[in-house]
């Protein structure tokens, strides 16, 4: 099956994803990566901005859930417990197990589900293979270390090719 690695939208930051925008896109279930998407890895728990955003989605009728490749559940559980949302750990992105499981669990069709993440070869590839829309963000707190600078540089042409680049 053919699929593309080009995200549907690119944003500077998750806070640009308002309930009004998601509703206009017909997105009722938002599956999000955690590290560098909602918080830099150095951040141990949800900050005020993340709590406010999560609450605004809930009030706007959008379900948020975390799909993480994190090996240890401790970090993901601390975030999700603090935000009152569910998660699927060991998701094995770019495999689609996490996406399929979340869609089944929340009873929302793939056509009304989107993935939010910062990486092309895990988050975006998983979303595209899973047949859901992909919303990409710049890495929260910026790329960390030489490899991540290279990686994010390599991702840039794919992000520029997206349907709508909302970074400008
Ligand atoms: Mg990430």
Distance (Å) from CA 30 to ligand 1 centroid: 15
Q: CA dist 137 to 41, 68, 103, 144, 157, Å?
A: 15, 16, 22, 15, 14
Q: Residue 60 above 70 pLDDT? A: yes
Across the range 112-120, mean pLDDT stands at 98
Average pLDDT of the residues of the chain: 95
Token pair belonging to 147: 């490899």
Q: What is the distance in A from the centroid of ligand 1 to the CA of 37?
A: 5
pLDDT at 3: 73
- Distance from the CA of 24 to the center of ligand 1, in angstroms? 25
Q: The tokens 């559980």 sit on which residue?
A: 77
| CATH tag, 9-162 | 3.40.50.1000
The CA distance from 110 to 134, in Å, is 12
Is residue 48 classed exposed, middle or buried when 0-12, 13-18 and 19+ CB atoms within 10 A define those classes? exposed
The Å distance, Cα 106 to ligand 1 centre, comes to: 22
As a whole number of angstroms, the distance between CA 5 and CA 3 comes to 7
Residue extents of the structural domains in the chain: 9-162
What long-range pairs does 77-80 form, CB within 8 A, spacing at least 24? Answer: 78/44, 78/45, 79/34, 79/38, 79/39, 79/45, 79/46
pLDDT at residue number 2: 67
Residue 168 has pLDDT above 90, yes or no: no
Q: Rounded to the nearest whole angstrom, what is the distance from the C-alpha of residue 116 to the centroid of ligand 1?
A: 9
CA of 4 to the centre of ligand 1 (A): 19
> What digits encode the pLDDT tens for the residues 87-103?
999 999 999 999 999 99
- CA 163 – ligand 1 centroid, Å: 21
| Cα(61) to centroid(ligand 1), Å | 25
User: How many angstroms separate the alpha carbon of residue 17 from the centre of ligand 1?
Assistant: 17
pLDDT band at 1 (very low <50, low <70, confident <90, very high): low
137: CA distance to ligand 1 center in Å? 9
Per-residue model confidence as pLDDT tens digits over 22-58: 999 999 999 999 999 999 999 999 999 999 999 999 9
- For residue 41, the CA-to-ligand 1 centroid distance in Å is 9
Separation of 140 CA from ligand 1 center, angstroms? Answer: 9
């Amino acid at each position: 099956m053919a699929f593309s690695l080009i995200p549907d939208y690119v944003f500077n930051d998750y806070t640009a994803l308002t309930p009004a925008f998601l509703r206009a896109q017909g997105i009722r279930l938002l599956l999000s990566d955690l590290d560098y998407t909602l918080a830099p890895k150095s951040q141990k728990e949800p900050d005020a901005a993340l709590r406010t955003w999560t609450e605004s989605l809930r009030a706007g009728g959008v379900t948020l859930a975390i799909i993480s490749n994190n090996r240890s559940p401790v970090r993901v559980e601390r975030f999700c417990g603090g935000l009152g949302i569910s998660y699927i750990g060991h998701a094995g992105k770019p495999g689609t197990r996490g996406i399929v499981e979340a869609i089944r669990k929340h009873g929302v069709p793939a056509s009304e589900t989107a993935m939010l993440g910062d990486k092309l070869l895990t988050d975006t590839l998983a979303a595209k293979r899973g047949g859901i829309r992909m919303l990409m963000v710049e890495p929260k707190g910026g790329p960390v270390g030489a490899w991540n600078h290279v990686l994010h540089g390599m991702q840039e042409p794919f992000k520029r090719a997206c349907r709508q680049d909302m970074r400008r």
